[in-house]
Amino acid sequence: MSKKLLVMLILVLFLLPSIIFSAEPELKTIIIEPIQTDFRIEVWPDKGNNASYKVGETITIYFKLTQDAYVYIWDINANGEVRLILPNGYRQENFFKANIVYSIPASNDKYTLRIAPPYGREVIHVLASKTPINILESYRKDLSRDPFPLIPEAPEVFTDKVRRNIEVVPTPTQPAQWTTANAIFYVASEGVIVPPPPGPSQALGRLVVESNPSGAGIYIDGRFLGYTPYTGDVSVGKHSIRLELSGYQPYETTVNITPNKITKISTTLKPIPYYQGTFYIASSPSNAEVYINGERKGRTPIKIEKLKPGRYQITVIKAGYETFVQYYEVIPGETRNIFVQLYPIR
């Protein structure tokens, strides 16, 4: 019988939690989420959220979906190094069914996650998507070389790239296609002071933060927490909350978290006028119908102004010609010229 491969899991203390494989480069964390209703994912370690682990202990990560989806797990260490946990070199299949509790590693996986230094608070992040996320799928090529590939990007850069890679913009007819969650735990060792898991003197309350548009960075008392929409447990008491999203004015408020109760923040962010952009769309032949994210805008040539920053699906249709579909990014403060060559249907 072959022995299971022990993959050392290192856990790091910083403002944000993170995971690291001791035999591998370190990991850290990030959250990104869209507006969603019944599409959710839960994640928790085997000891539960806010639990403490000693060096040498094993850890298992559990998650559960409300809808079938592709699942990605990654972590960021205190040094800002990002590492992919799922898919990995031992488990490349990452499509999971709804309403089933899955574990990483699974009982039949040939590796074990084991706690190792450095010490401190740790956060695991999961992203669930109805379709594969191209930027994360691109790291599969590295799995044969490194089972848990290090992603050579700063956390902020990596987060922004993942967010931009999400192709579907939620609309009433196109519901949210992805969602995320996170879990917190602590790594303790002799001689190292680690904040203990919240107990009776450190009661928790549930915080829910939503914004329109979604994807805004959340800062609690000046520390990065995640991205909207967000649901998680935070310590009781007063906290300052700040939401930041490129192209929008920051939103600030103060909340008072009470034990075992839900505190909800929901706001519509105000765009900075300069950060709006424009598409100028022309086609050959002209007089073709133009749709943006499924909404008809007119016929070519057409100028579409006051678009918020982000990725848009542009569809150009003309009878007798092949339909053109492509995604384009709105560049803040600029007009993007788009020329579409239509080809006859054969």
- Rounded Cα distance between 346 and 201, Å, is 73
CA 213 to chain centre: 15
Q: Where are the domains of the chain?
A: 5-188, 200-268, 274-341
Same fold, 200-268 and 274-341: yes
- Rounded Cα distance between 82 and 102, Å, is 23
The token pair that represents 73 in the structure block: 């797990």
Residues 41/185, Cβ–Cβ less than 8 Å? no
Residues 287/301, Cβ–Cβ less than 8 Å? no
Which letter, b or e, does each residue of 107-141 get, where b requires 16 or more Cβ atoms within 10 Å of its Cβ? Answer: eebebbbbbbebbbbbbbbbbbbeeebebbeebbe
Per-residue confidence (pLDDT) for residue 37, from 0 to 100 = 58
Exposed, middle or buried, 183 (CB in 10 Å: 0-12/13-18/19+)? buried
Per-residue confidence (pLDDT) for residue 275, from 0 to 100 = 65
- Rounded Cα distance between 31 and 131, Å, is 18
Per-residue confidence (pLDDT) for residue 182, from 0 to 100 = 80
The token pair that represents 264 in the structure block: 């909800």
Q: By three-state DSSP, how is residue 86 classified?
A: strand
CA dihedral of 243, 86, 170, 155, whole degrees rounded to 10: 30
From first to last of its 346 residues, the chain has per-residue pLDDT tens of: 444 444 444 333 232 333 333 333 333 334 454 454 578 888 888 887 777 888 788 888 888 888 999 999 987 765 667 788 899 888 999 999 988 889 898 888 888 888 776 667 777 888 898 888 888 888 888 888 888 888 888 777 777 778 777 655 444 555 677 888 887 777 776 544 444 444 444 578 888 888 888 777 788 887 777 777 777 778 888 999 999 887 778 899 999 998 888 899 999 988 876 667 889 999 999 999 999 999 999 999 999 988 887 889 999 999 999 999 988 888 777 888 899 999 998 8
Class of domain 274-341: mainly beta
Per-residue confidence (pLDDT) for residue 130, from 0 to 100 = 87
Q: How many CA atoms, within 13 angstroms, populate the side-chain half-sphere of residue 340?
A: 32
- Rounded Cα distance between 299 and 279, Å, is 13
Residues 12/155, Cβ–Cβ less than 8 Å? no
Q: By three-state DSSP, how is residue 63 classified?
A: strand
The token pair that represents 37 in the structure block: 């209703």
- Rounded Cα distance between 123 and 83, Å, is 13
- Rounded Cα distance between 237 and 214, Å, is 26
CA-wise closest residue to 249 among 221, 230, 268: 268
Residues 250/305, Cβ–Cβ less than 8 Å? no
| Topology, domain 200-268 | Immunoglobulin-like (2.60.40)
Q: State the CB neighbour count (10 A cutoff) for residue 305.
A: 10
Exposed, middle or buried, 105 (CB in 10 Å: 0-12/13-18/19+)? buried
Per-residue confidence (pLDDT) for residue 6, from 0 to 100 = 45
Per-residue confidence (pLDDT) for residue 189, from 0 to 100 = 61
CA-wise closest residue to 236 among 220, 251, 249: 220
